């Protein structure tokens, strides 16, 4: 597995990754005042919950006393207690709702900020990151992992503080009411702590594996669905299905184990709570039988509620620990991407060209996609403005790599200048704005034909679109559509590969940049359409420096300069006639196209 993916998919330790949670906490620092408010409200709700059982005990004692006394129940005291109890529970509901509302708002703000930073980060990481990281895994970080973080913030932070408050308050109330029943309740609850600790130790590794499996599955699905026609053409459906099933089985197994272990916590805590009720009755009755007045029916009823409240924070702790485990795994993946090394900052680079002539020079350029393997060796070439430069050579010679370096998609050793100014002294966005680029692989997005043609180019008139589409042989097709340029590109439109390529060529012609790159731009069109596009290309390349990568050497015979590359080096240079007369490597390549089989 390539370097970045190997690094990103390494499983962390089985324990909760507190470093990742600390990073998440620092990320939420801006929202700390609101989190504190939500936490204080949660504490207030917990206090209301703690006071309730004591009032229920008083109410029970009033009823018991009323049954025993001949005058009956003291209705005035009874009503006062009921009003107080209702007030406490209503106040608790209001502050708990307010706490949850604030945390939900904070959570969505954090999620929005995370997704925004990830989206911004994507434009800042070098392209070699995407050479080895699958798109599906990155999408999983943006969607699944951020959603898990969001859910944890919404359900765990305030709840944990509330549970801690409830836990401490209930323990204090129990001991202040009756220390013996308090000890009974606490000791029976120790079983829950014991089992919860064992489960947490075991389940973390499965939560980590689940997130990695999910990213792997997203990557596999994205690749297969994007290239579905290739998979079908090569009969790879069964192979890909087996691969999917293998990943899916791993995800199922890790998810089943993590959820099974997490699901054990609530039943265990429920059992502990029920056991507490039984023990309270047994001990309470035993104390009463022995004639102690320290325990009344109201005391026992209060302790039943206290026992339930005592197990409630334990359940909350267990659930929160499960959520924090998932959040730590998700945070690790998200922050690993956010901390990926970015491209060099360019704030200090302000050079721009007043008027672009198009002189381009490569000076001792060296480059490799990995540090241990150089594929461009000491590449040097000087090209004049307005020249049509063809770059030819066998597969893997470095033709496309040279173009990528020219547009500063990658950093390199050496220097490339445009009109004498190094591209390293100009911002990447500015360098790339100087080029029109037409690739062999077409790229069209969901939208109308007009939106695809004028992509990022404001105020393009319909007359200009007509002119360009006519130049590339696309005008008749557009006119035949029911909505013309406003027709939405979709599967139902059924564009051919040639028509898609014509659209991308028209898009480049509309941009009309001073430099042009053509990478097998006519490889997907038929011979007749190629002639039409070739004429448009001749007009397009007029008076501008253009770089043409071609495998069909017959298409670049009119190039001013042909650079012949092999193994990252220029081995021959000249025009078509000069290179044929040398009877060297170019002549061998050219003649091989016409050799009889």
CB neighbour list of residue 180: distance below 8 Å, 6 or more residues apart: 283, 287
Write the CATH number of the domain with boundaries 360-592. 3.40.50.300
Sheet strands side by side (includes 569-574): 435-438, 515-519, 545-549, 388-392, 561-566, 569-574
CB neighbour list of residue 105: distance below 8 Å, 6 or more residues apart: 34
Q: How many residues appear in the chain?
A: 597
| Cβ atoms of 520 and 505 closer than 8 Å | no
The sign of the CA dihedral 42, 47, 48, 49 is positive
3-class DSSP state of 25: helix
What tens digit of pLDDT does each residue of 57-116 get?
777 766 666 554 556 556 777 778 788 888 888 988 898 889 888 888 888 898 889 888
> Is residue 354 predicted with pLDDT exceeding 90?
no
- The whole-number average pLDDT for the span 590-594 is 76
Q: Where are the domains of the chain?
A: 3-8+15-338, 360-592
What tens digit of pLDDT does each residue of 285-324 get?
787 777 666 677 777 777 777 777 777 777 777 677 778 8
Q: What was the pLDDT predicted at 74?
A: 65
Q: How far is CA 445 from the centre of its chain?
A: 20
Q: What was the pLDDT predicted at 570?
A: 86
Q: Among candidates 454, 462, 409, 450, which has minimal Cα distance to 431? A: 409
- The whole-number average pLDDT for the span 426-435 is 88
Q: Backbone dihedral region of 583: left (phi > 0), alpha (psi from -120 to 50 degrees) or beta?
A: left
Tokens 């997704």 -> residue: 115
Task: Tell me which of 70 and 256 has the higher pLDDT.
Answer: 256
Q: What was the pLDDT predicted at 17?
A: 65
Write the CATH number of the domain with boundaries 3-8+15-338. 1.20.1560.10
Tokens 């090209």 -> residue: 383
CB neighbour list of residue 108: distance below 8 Å, 6 or more residues apart: 150
Whole-angstrom Cα distance, residue 561 to residue 559? 5
Task: Tell me which of 52 and 339 has the higher pLDDT.
Answer: 339
Q: Where are the beta strands (DSSP E) in 231-387?
A: 360-367, 376-383
> Is residue 424 predicted with pLDDT exceeding 60?
yes
Angle (CA) 244 246 247, round 5°: 65
Q: What was the pLDDT predicted at 491?
A: 61
Whole-angstrom Cα distance, residue 39 to residue 160? 9
Structure-block tokens of residue 533: 């596009």
What tens digit of pLDDT does each residue of 517-557 get?
887 766 666 677 677 767 767 766 777 888 888 777 767 78
Question: What's the half-sphere exposure (Cβ side, CA atoms, 13 Å) at 412?
Answer: 31
For 534-562, give the DSSP string: HHHHHHHTTTSEEEEE-SSGGGGTT-SEE
| pLDDT tier at 416, thresholds 50, 70, 90 | very high
Q: How far is CA 294 from CA 74, 175, 179, 286, 289, in A?
A: 22, 12, 10, 12, 12
pTM here? Answer: 0.64
Q: What was the pLDDT predicted at 418?
A: 92
Whole-angstrom Cα distance, residue 504 to residue 510? 10
Whole-angstrom Cα distance, residue 6 to residue 515? 38
| pLDDT tier at 417, thresholds 50, 70, 90 | very high
Structure-block tokens of residue 220: 């596999």
How is the chain split among helix, strand and coil, in percent rounded to 5?
65, 10, 25
Q: What was the pLDDT predicted at 264?
A: 77
What tens digit of pLDDT does each residue of 186-227 get?
887 776 667 776 777 777 778 778 878 887 888 788 788 877
> Is residue 566 predicted with pLDDT exceeding 90?
no
Of 290-294, 494-498, 511-515, the least confident? 290-294
Whole-angstrom Cα distance, residue 49 to residue 89? 7
Burial of 253-267, coded b for 16+ CB within 10 Å and e otherwise, reads ebbebbeebbebbee
Burial of 427: CB neighbours in 10 Å, binned 0-12, 13-18, 19+: middle
Structure-block tokens of residue 586: 């170019």
Q: Among candidates 205, 202, 197, 199, which has minimal Cα distance to 14? A: 205
| Cβ atoms of 45 and 162 closer than 8 Å | yes
Q: What was the pLDDT predicted at 3?
A: 40
Contacts 24+ apart (CB under 8 A), 312-315: 312/163, 312/166, 313/163, 313/164, 313/166, 313/167, 313/170, 314/167, 314/189, 314/192, 314/193, 314/196, 314/269, 314/272, 315/265, 315/266, 315/269, 315/270
Rounded to the nearest integer, the mean pLDDT of the chain is 80
Whole-angstrom Cα distance, residue 479 to residue 476? 5
Whole-angstrom Cα distance, residue 475 to residue 229? 28
Whole-angstrom Cα distance, residue 363 to residue 350? 22
DSSP assignment letter at 29:
G
| Cβ atoms of 520 and 550 closer than 8 Å | yes
Of 65-74, 89-98, 138-147, 407-416, the least confident? 65-74
Give φ, ψ of 580 to 5 degrees.
-65, -40
Q: What was the pLDDT predicted at 312?
A: 75
Q: How far is CA 236 from the centre of its chain?
A: 28
Q: Which residues pair with 391 in a beta bridge?
A: 549, 563
Rg value, the chain, Cα = 36
Q: What was the pLDDT predicted at 65?
A: 60
> Is residue 230 predicted with pLDDT exceeding 70?
yes
């Amino acid at each position: 597995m390539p370097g970045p993916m190997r690094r990103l998919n390494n499983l962390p330790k089985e324990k909760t990754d507190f470093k990742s949670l600390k990073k998440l906490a620092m990320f939420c620092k801006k929202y700390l005042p609101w989190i504190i408010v939500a936490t204080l409200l949660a504490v207030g709700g917990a206090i209301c919950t703690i006071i309730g059982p004591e009032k229920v005990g008083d109410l029970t004692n009033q009823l018991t006393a009323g049954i025993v006394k001949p005058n009956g129940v003291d209705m005035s005291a009874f009503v006062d207690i009921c009003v107080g109890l209702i007030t406490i529970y209503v106040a608790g509901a209001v502050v708990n709702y307010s706490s949850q509302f604030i945390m939900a708002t904070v959570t969505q703000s954090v999620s929005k900020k995370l997704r925004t930073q990830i989206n911004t980060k994507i434009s800042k990481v070098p392209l070699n990151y995407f050479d080895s990281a699958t798109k599906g895994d990155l999408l999983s970080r943006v969607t699944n992992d951020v959603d898990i973080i969001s859910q944890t913030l919404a359900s765990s932070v305030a709840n944990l503080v509330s549970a801690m408050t409830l836990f401490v308050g209930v323990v204090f109330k129990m001991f202040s009411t009756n220390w013996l029943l308090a000890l009974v309740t606490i000791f029976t609850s120790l079983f829950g702590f014991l089992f919860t600790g064992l489960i947490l130790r075991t389940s973390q590794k499965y939560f980590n594996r689940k997130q990695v499996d999910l990213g792997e599955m997203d990557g596999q699905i994205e690749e297969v669905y994007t290239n579905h026609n290739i998979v079908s053409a090569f009969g790879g459906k069964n192979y890909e299905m087996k691969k999917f099933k293998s990943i899916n089985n791993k995800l199922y197994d890790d998810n089943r184990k993590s959820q099974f272990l997490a699901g054990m916590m609530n039943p265990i805590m429920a059992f502990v709570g029920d056991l507490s009720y039984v023990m309270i009755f047994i001990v309470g009755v035993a104390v009463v039988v022995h004639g102690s007045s320290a325990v009344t029916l109201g005391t026992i009823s209060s302790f039943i509620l206290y026992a339930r409240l005592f197990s409630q924070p334990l359940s909350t702790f267990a659930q929160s620990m499960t959520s924090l485990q998932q959040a730590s795994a998700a945070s690790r993946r998200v922050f690993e991407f956010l901390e990926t090394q970015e491209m060099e900052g360019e704030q200090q680079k302000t050079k721009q060209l007043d008027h672009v002539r198009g002189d381009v020079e490569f000076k001792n350029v060296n480059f490799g996609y990995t540090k241990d393997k150089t594929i461009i060796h000491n590449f040097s070439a000087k090209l004049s403005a307005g020249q049509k430069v063809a770059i030819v050579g066998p597969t893997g010679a470095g033709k496309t790599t040279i173009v990528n370096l020219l547009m500063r998609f990658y950093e390199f050793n050496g220097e490339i200048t445009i009109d004498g100014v190094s591209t390293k002294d100009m911002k990447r966005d500015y360098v790339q704005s100087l080029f029109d680029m037409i690739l062999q692989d077409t790229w069209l997005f969901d939208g109308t034909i007009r939106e695809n043609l004028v992509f990022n180019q404001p105020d393009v008139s319909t007359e200009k679109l007509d002119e360009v589409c006519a130049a590339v042989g696309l005008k008749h097709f557009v006119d035949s559509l029911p909505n013309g340029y406003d027709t939405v590109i979709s599967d139902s439109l059924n564009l051919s590969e040639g028509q898609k390529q014509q659209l991308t060529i028209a898009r480049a012609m509309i941009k009309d940049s001073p430099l042009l790159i053509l990478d097998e731009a006519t490889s997907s069109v038929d011979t007749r359409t190629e002639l039409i596009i070739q004429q448009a290309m001749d007009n397009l390349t007029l008076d501008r420096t253009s770089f043409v990568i071609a495998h069909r050497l017959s298409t670049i015979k009119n190039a001013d300069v042909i650079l012949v590359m092999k193994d990252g080096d220029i081995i021959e240079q000249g025009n078509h006639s000069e290179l044929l007369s040398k009877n060297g490597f170019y002549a061998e390549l050219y003649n091989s196209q016409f050799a009889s089989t």
